[in-house]
């Protein structure tokens, strides 16, 4: 089986405090993996590390088959300036950055694809709406359309379904399922365990360290969840430097 | 009659033609930068950097009197130090960017006024603070034109990443490493234009030429492209109208240019179709969907 991501003794964190601690393991190509864990477990931090926006404190993240430009990353509550006078179409078109860069034009074919992506997320007719007029769910749909345009081999979604109504969640999950069918590797951070049990074949249960991984049903057991909760200690200002061998 | 009033000043007097050319050069490049400054919530950065230019220009002035080269270079260096320095302070200490900018530019301004007063008179200080759009020599005109050209070309090259960086910096960071470069290049363009404006309008008014047309353009349209065009157009109109009025009324031209831009702004504030007061108070009947 192809390996998409390999963590080797990975420690990620902020200001020398680890948020993900000595993580080892692999993610197969084409996996649809949920990342679960209590607040402060390092889920978002792990995605930032994979996306390359946060450098590891120690250890490595190897992406043997994926170029950095082949990663699409949707951060938690994407930090979008809704006051900016930009239209839905243009935001979705940003997904073409990898191909267009600074000066590349958008072909007629690509214009059609952008419209298709907007229709695919159920925003047909919203092309010329300024993003400031969108609701929370519509904004998330628009960002999924941009993900569609990115055509990435590795897709990282951080809490994409929070504060969104069930109809929108269902529509967006259908897109996730489509990516999975297309053999893309998809990692989704979520703390909605029911949703994870229903839609995600594999789960990584994280509490700074990996508590369990594998088939979702085997991972999300009451014992594992309890263990995960007890693993999260309080932030310790006076923590000593970690002596665990690499 | 109308010809005498609107056109004759420029056909009869070379210094008016030069002033007009200089104002147009300033208005083409500055206001579009102002639009980005406002959209990036950096409106006061322009103000702060505009004042921060003073000590650099004053040092140049101290070294070689009222001459273009040393004052321009001094202004550029001082502006870049404050713009980049306050950015670094904001990232490395608990002070936010606005606080560090305020600190930097206040020091800068005090230093600048002190340096100017070391040598020279109040007239010189007035020249530095309020500029001399009616006394543009060839070198200054060429400088203004060069700055306008460089700015337009750079803005065209930076347009996509700059918009992206403003709307969704996280996304740009995830697809490209250009975010930091874009940010610094943009600030450098702002400093460059303020130094140019400083030659014609002085430190206090250079910022006005950048921000006022930009602010009114945002009240006129919510389309990004039109906004940039409207800002530049208003800057040029203010330059022209300010010169005409100052010529006939015998008033200083720099402040009048900014006053005309200020009148545009007040009009846009009331009548602007994209968020002006009238639109707010009387939005019309609500739509079907």
Q: What is the pLDDT of residues B162-217, one digit of tens each?
A: 998 888 888 888 888 777 788 888 888 999 998 888 877 777 678 889 999 999 99
Query: Mutate which of B91, B174, B182 to test chain A, going by most A C-beta atoms within 10 A?
Result: B174
Q: Is residue B81 part of a domain?
A: yes
- Cβ neighbours, 10 Å, residue A56: 17
Per-residue pLDDT of B32-70, as tens digits, reads 999 999 998 888 888 888 888 888 887 887 777 667 788
Q: How far apart are CA A218 and CA A58, in angstroms?
A: 30
Query: In which residue ranges of chain A is pLDDT below 70?
Result: 1, 77, 232-239, 245-246
Per-residue pLDDT of B134-149, as tens digits, reads 778 888 889 899 999 9
What does the pLDDT read at residue A90?
92
Q: How far apart are CA B260 and CA B66, in angstroms?
A: 28
Domains in chain A, CATH or no CATH each: 1-66+190-238 (3.40.50.300)
Domain count along chain B: 1
Q: Are B174 and A51 within 8 A, CB to CB?
A: yes
Residue with token string 């070309």:
B153
Query: Mutate which of B36, B153, B161, B168 to test chain A, going by most A C-beta atoms within 10 A?
Result: B168
User: What long-range pairs does A224-233 form, CB within 8 A, spacing at least 24?
Assistant: A225/A193, A228/A37, A228/A38, A228/A41, A229/A38, A231/A207, A232/A38, A232/A39, A232/A40, A232/A41, A232/A207, A232/A208
Q: How far apart are CA A94 and CA A84, in angstroms?
A: 14
Band the pLDDT of B255: cuts 50, 70, 90.
confident
Q: Is residue B125 part of a domain?
A: yes
Q: Are B222 and A91 within 8 A, CB to CB?
A: no
Q: Are A98 and B170 within 8 A, CB to CB?
A: no
DSSP state of B268: H
* Nearest-CA distance B106 → chain A (Å): 30
Element (H, E) at A25: strand A17-28
Q: Across the strands, what pairs with A4? A: none
For residue B161, list chain A residues with Cβ-Cβ distance below 8 A: 102
CATH of the domain at B141: 1.10.3470.10
* Nearest-CA distance B176 → chain A (Å): 8
Would you say the ipTM is above 0.90? no
Q: Is residue B53 part of a domain?
A: yes
| Helix A136-150 vs helix A108-120: crossing angle, to nearest 10 | 140
Tally A–B CB contacts below 8 A: 58
- Cβ neighbours, 10 Å, residue B92: 9
Q: How far apart are CA B52 and CA B46, in angstroms?
A: 10
Q: Is residue B278 part of a domain?
A: no
CB-based contacts of B206, cutoff 8 Å, min separation 6: B26, B30, B50, B131, B193, B194, B196, B197, B198, B200
Q: Is residue B282 part of a domain?
A: no
What does the pLDDT read at residue B123?
63
Q: Is residue B287 part of a domain?
A: no
Q: Are A53 and B168 within 8 A, CB to CB?
A: no
Token pair listed for B180? 């930091």
* Region B103-122 average pLDDT: 79
For residue A73, list chain B residues with Cβ-Cβ distance below 8 A: 174
Answer whether B152 touches A (CB < 8 Å). no
Q: Are B168 and A71 within 8 A, CB to CB?
A: no
Nearest neighbour of A102 by CB, restricted to B160, B168, B218 = B160
Q: Are A81 and B168 within 8 A, CB to CB?
A: yes
DSSP state of B285: S
Structural domain including B183 reads 2-271
CA distances from A40 to A19, A51, A229, A231 (A): 7, 19, 10, 10
Per-residue pLDDT of B72-97, as tens digits, reads 888 889 888 888 887 777 767 777 77
Query: Mutate which of B39, B170, B173, B231 to test chain A, going by most A C-beta atoms within 10 A?
Result: B170
| Interface of chain A toward chain B, CB-CB under 8 angstroms | 51-53, 69, 71-73, 75, 78-81, 83-86, 91, 94, 97-98, 100-103, 130-131, 146, 150
- Contact present, A162 and A137 (Cβ < 8 Å): no
Q: Is residue B160 part of a domain?
A: yes
Q: Is residue B152 part of a domain?
A: yes
Q: Are A78 and B164 within 8 A, CB to CB?
A: no
**Would you list the DSSP string of B111-166?**
HHHHHHHHSS-HHHHHHHHH--GGG--HHHHHHHHHHHHHHHHHHHHHHHHHHHHH
Per-residue pLDDT of B229-252, as tens digits, reads 999 999 999 999 999 999 999 888
| Chain A residue at shortest CA distance from B160 | A102
């Amino acid at each position: 089986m192809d390996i998409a991501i390999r963590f080797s003794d990975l420690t990620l964190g902020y200001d020398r405090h680890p948020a993900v601690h000595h993580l080892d393991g692999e993610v197969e190509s084409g996996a649809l993996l949920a990342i679960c864990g209590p607040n402060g477990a390092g889920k978002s931090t792990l995605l930032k590390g994979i996306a390359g926006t946060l450098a590891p404190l120690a250890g490595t993240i190897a992406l043997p088959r994926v170029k950095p430009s082949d990663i699409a990353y949707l951060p938690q509550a994407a930090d979008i300036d809704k006051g900016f006078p930009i239209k839905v179409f243009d935001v979705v078109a940003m997904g073409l950055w990898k191909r267009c860069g600074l000066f590349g034009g958008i072909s007629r074919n690509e214009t059609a694809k952008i419209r298709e992506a907007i229709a695919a997320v159920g925003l047909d007719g919203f092309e010329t709406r300024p993003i400031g007029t969108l609701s929370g769910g519509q904004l998330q749909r628009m960002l999924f359309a941009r993900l569609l345009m990115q055509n990435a081999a590795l897709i990282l979604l951080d809490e994409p379904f929070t504060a969104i109504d069930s109809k929108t969640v269902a529509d967006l999950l259908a897109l996730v399922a489509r990516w999975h069918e297309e053999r893309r590797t998809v990692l989704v951070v979520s703390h909605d365990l029911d949703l994870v049990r229903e839609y995600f074949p594999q789960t990584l249960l994280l509490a700074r360290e990996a508590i369990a991984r594998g088939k979702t049903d085997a991972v999300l057991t009451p014992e594992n969840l309890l263990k995960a909760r007890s693993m999260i200690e309080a932030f310790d200002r006076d923590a000593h430097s970690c002596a665990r061998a690499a | 009659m109308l010809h005498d009033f609107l056109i004759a000043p420029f056909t009869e007097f070379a210094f008016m033609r030069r002033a007009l050319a200089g104002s147009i050069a300033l208005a083409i490049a500055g206001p579009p930068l102002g639009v980005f400054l406002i959209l990036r919530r950096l409106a006061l950065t322009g103000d702060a950097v505009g004042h921060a230019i003073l000590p650099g220009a004053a040092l140049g002035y101290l070294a070689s009197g009222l001459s273009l080269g040393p004052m321009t270079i001094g202004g550029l260096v001082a502006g870049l130090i404050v713009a980049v320095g306050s950015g670094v302070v904001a990232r490395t200490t608990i002070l936010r960017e606005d606080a560090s900018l305020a600190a930097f530019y206040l020091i800068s301004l005090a230093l600048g006024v002190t340096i100017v007063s070391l040598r020279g008179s109040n007239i010189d200080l007035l020249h530095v603070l309020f500029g001399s759009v009616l006394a543009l020599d060839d070198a200054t005109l060429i400088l203004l034109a060069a700055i306008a050209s460089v700015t337009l070309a750079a803005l065209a090259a930076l347009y996509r990443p700059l918009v992206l960086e403003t709307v969704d910096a996280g996304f740009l960071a995830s697809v490209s490493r250009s975010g930091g470069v874009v940010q610094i290049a943009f600030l450098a363009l702002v400093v460059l234009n303020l130094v140019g404006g400083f030659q014609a309008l002085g430190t206090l008014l250079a910022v006005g030429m950048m921000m006022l047309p930009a602010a009114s353009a945002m009240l006129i349209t919510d389309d990004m492209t039109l906004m940039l065009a409207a800002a530049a157009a208003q800057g040029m109109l203010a330059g022209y109208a300010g010169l005409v009025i100052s010529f006939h009324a015998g008033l200083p031209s720099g402040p009048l240019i900014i006053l005309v831009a200020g009148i545009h702004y007040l009009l846009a504030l009331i009548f602007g179709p994209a968020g002006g007061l009238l639109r707010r108070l009387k939005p019309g009947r609500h739509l079907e969907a």
